[in-house]
Amino acid sequence: MKEVRVAILGASGWMGKVHAMAFQTFPHFMGTAHGTARITALVEANAAAADDLAFRAPGARILTDWQAAIADPTVDLIDICLPDHLHYPVAKAALLAGKHVYCEKPLADTAAEARELADLAQARGLITRVGHAFPRNPVHDLAKDIITGGEIGDVRLFKGCQHVDVLADPLAPFIWRADGKHAPTGIIGDTGSHVFSFMEFLLGRVTRLVADNMIVTPRRPRVAGAAEGDFADVTNTDATHLLCRFESGASGIVDFSRVATGRKFRQGYEVYGTKGSLVYDYDQVNRLRLYTNEDRAGRRGFREIDIGPEHPTYAAFLPLPNFALGYNETKIIEAAEVIRAVTTGVPMWPTFETGHHICQIVDACMESARRGAWVDIAA
């Protein structure tokens, strides 16, 4: 059994905590045949948030400087859970130091940066992974099986969305996610990238798109209740609507937003084919709806399929269907796959190549909105 030594960067944040839990937890459910993880370093710049780190990974070095983790010869895998603008420089430094890299989404601020990272990893034979965990819920393996098996015929239309209301209140305080310096692509890289990961997973490459990007609330209080003089400018996108074309010829209609009042977390897609269709809604996180023309006339309608233990990554957690795997389980599946890729040397979706394609879609949204025109995406 091989052990992969991991450094988690941004350890006290949401993703830092989830990743640490996932590395420590996956062997309980997924076994150790493909290796285990040992967290040997936790990096956190915010001292005030770092005081319980020693408890969370006993024996790990507690660091404040990510460069120290990259320089550590006993670290095999750098796990980047830092704000978006740090992904590219940190991943690049890690790859140059010969480390495997697991990076939260979006992989980079631009497709050019993502390309450079994917090329570096390829040239050095290093394993990469982007933290697009949502499609690793086994319900989406079922959707992909149905699509690639031709059960719904040729796919003609994908409709996808993701909506939250974290910034729907115009007086909700400013956060780094609304700052173009820390998150240059705003909701597009932050949330759109999740929808794009479903598109890539289920349908493959996007070849062109046209997008409308909106800043809905241009200024926000720096802290709750701040006076008008202490407002900060929102310098990235709050919401985007887009139309696209896939390499397969299918069309897409996609929208995502952080200002969708009342939507705490809405995520879903619909896939329409020539022989049937699929509908997924995160509110029923393990359920797929399938419509097929194979059903006889008079009996046609959407059937609900709740995934269960016939899917290996579901069976790893639960012996009965419809007990529900949630967000954290998808991160546990992801952590197991990251370790498996490192120990076997076989990359697993989504690698930095996928991350590059997703960054190309993000870039195209930015360019299209700037130019007010359709934008082609190079293969």
Ligand X SMILES: NC(=O)c1ccc[n+]([C@@H]2O[C@H](COP(=O)([O-])OP(=O)(O)OC[C@H]3O[C@@H](n4cnc5c(N)ncnc54)[C@H](O)[C@@H]3O)[C@@H](O)[C@H]2O)c1
DSSP assignment of 146-212: HHHTTTT-SEEEEEEEEE--TTTSTTSPP-GGG-TTTSTTTHIIIIIHHHHHHHHHHT--EEEEEEE
For ligand X, the closer CB: 49 or 54: 49
- Give min distance, CB of 70 to ligand X, in A: 12
Q: Give the nearer residue to ligand X in terms of CB position, either 187 or 210.
A: 187
Shortest distance in whole angstroms from residue 295 CB to ligand X: 36
For residue 283, give every residue at least 6 positions away whose Cβ sits within 8 Å of its Cβ, in sequence order, or none: 266
Nearer to ligand X, 23 or 246 (CB): 23
Neighbours of 65 (CB within 10 A): 11
DSSP H helical segments within the chain, as ranges?
Answer: 14-30, 53-56, 66-71, 87-96, 111-124, 138-148, 187, 193-202, 312-315, 327-344, 352-371
Q: What's the min distance (Å) between Cβ of 249 and ligand X?
A: 30
The nearest distance, CB 304 to ligand X, in angstroms, is 25
Between 10 and 273, whose beta carbon lies closer to ligand X? 10
Indicate the residue whose CB is closest to ligand X. 13
Burial 319-356 (b: 16+ CB within 10 A, else e): eeeeeebeeebbbbbbbbbbbbbbbeeebbbbbbbbbb
Q: Which is closer to ligand X, CB of 105 or CB of 220?
A: 105
Smallest distance, ligand X to C-beta of residue 164, A? 11
Closest approach of Cβ 286 to ligand X, in Å?
17
CB of 13 to ligand X, least distance (A): 2
Q: Which is nearer to ligand X, 133 or 278 (CB)?
A: 133
Distance CA 267, CA 276 (A): 21
With b for 16 or more beta-carbon neighbours within 10 A and e for fewer, the 288-317 pattern comes to bbbbbeeeeeeeeeeeebebbeebebbebb
CB of 235 to ligand X, least distance (A): 17
**Nearer of residues 175 and 226 to ligand X, judged by Cβ:** 175
**Hey, is 89 helix, strand or coil?**
helix
Q: Which residues sit opposite 37 in a β-bridge?
A: 4
Cβ neighbours of residue 14 under 8 Å, at least 6 residues apart?
none
Are 201 and 274 within 8 A, CB to CB? no
Query: Which amino acid appears at position 234 of this protein?
Result: V
For ligand X, the closer of residues 67 and 322 by Cβ is 67
Please report how close the Cβ of residue 80 comes to ligand X at its closest, in angstroms.
8
Residue nearer to ligand X on the CB measure, 13 or 192? 13
Phi/psi region, residue 174 (left: phi>0; alpha: psi -120 to 50; beta: rest), is beta
**Comparison of 6 and 133: residue with beta carbon closer to ligand X:** 133
What is the contact surface with ligand X in residues (CB under 6 A)? 9-10, 12-16, 43-46, 49, 66, 81-84, 86, 104-105, 131, 133, 190
In angstroms, give the least distance from the CB of 40 to ligand X: 16
Phi-psi region of 58 (alpha: psi -120 to 50; beta: other; left: phi over 0): beta
The amino acid occupying position 128 is: T
